Amino acid sequence: MGDASLIEMVVIKVSPYLREDRPLLWLGEKDAERPRLLPIAIGEFEAAAIQMPLEGEDPIRPISYDLLSSMLGRLDIQVRQVVVPAVRKSIYYARVVIEKDRRIKEIDSRPSDAVALALRTGAPINVSRELLDQVGLTPLDDELDVEHTLDRFYEFEPQIAPGPEATLSTPLTPEVPDREPEPPPSPEETDLGPSLEREVDELSLLQSRLEQAVICEEYEEAARIRDEIESLVNKSKS
């Protein structure tokens, strides 16, 4: 379409979320050297419908998306693109753009339905640049591929993997064999004790807030809290 406000995406994968209570649809920038990712929570049925064409599987009988794709083809209606333009009040919106007889129509849709249809019709999947800038997951310098970025997401997703507080609670000095263990320094002897304790407390609070935001599907707030956690962890390592 040549619209600079849109970025073409591809389906990276569908993965478990919140201990597999809800799946996540992962979209990634197409042809980008370091693609940004956009996770969207979807339903189980929609996840299965998206997974089928990704794995080259055909259902025994056509499901609703296959039927819709066949109907559009028989009626000479072309799916030009699907667009995910925005998230409002933690709800993602999508549009299916169709064309018949040189007339363009836009149909409101859920992102999962739009993506499932796009995979069956070969239509491009586009996301607004503003949305991706706002809530997209950006690879870090040391993340070599998409899987490393996904691993980082699940590291900060409290319901799936332990949070980063385990890193902060690691002893500051290694054990020394064959020596009498020395008592830990008191807060008066070093300023690292209270500082580390404050960081752990702050991190624990952020973890709780992130978990609550994720459960409530407040993705914009979750993205902001995630960035705060990453900043705090990076600060603790320096």
Sequence letter at residue 96: V
- Read off the pLDDT of residues 33-88 as tens digits, 9 standing for 90 and up: 888 889 898 988 899 999 999 988 888 888 999 999 999 999 999 999 999 999 88
Which of these ranges, 27-31, 55-59, 159-163, has the smallest mean pLDDT?
Answer: 159-163
- Read off the pLDDT of residues 88-134 as tens digits, 9 standing for 90 and up: 887 899 999 999 999 999 999 999 999 999 999 999 999 999 999 98
Across-strand partners of 14?
25
Contact 147, 39 (CB under 8 A): no
Q: pTM (2 decimals)?
A: 0.63
Sequence letter at residue 104: I
Among residues 132, 135, 123, 131, which one has the least CA distance to residue 1?
123
| Four-residue CA torsion sign, 135, 31, 157, 111 | positive
The whole-angstrom distance between residue 9's C-alpha and the CA centroid of its chain comes to 13
* Cα–Cα dist 168/120, whole Å: 47
- Read off the pLDDT of residues 129-149 as tens digits, 9 standing for 90 and up: 999 998 888 777 665 566 766
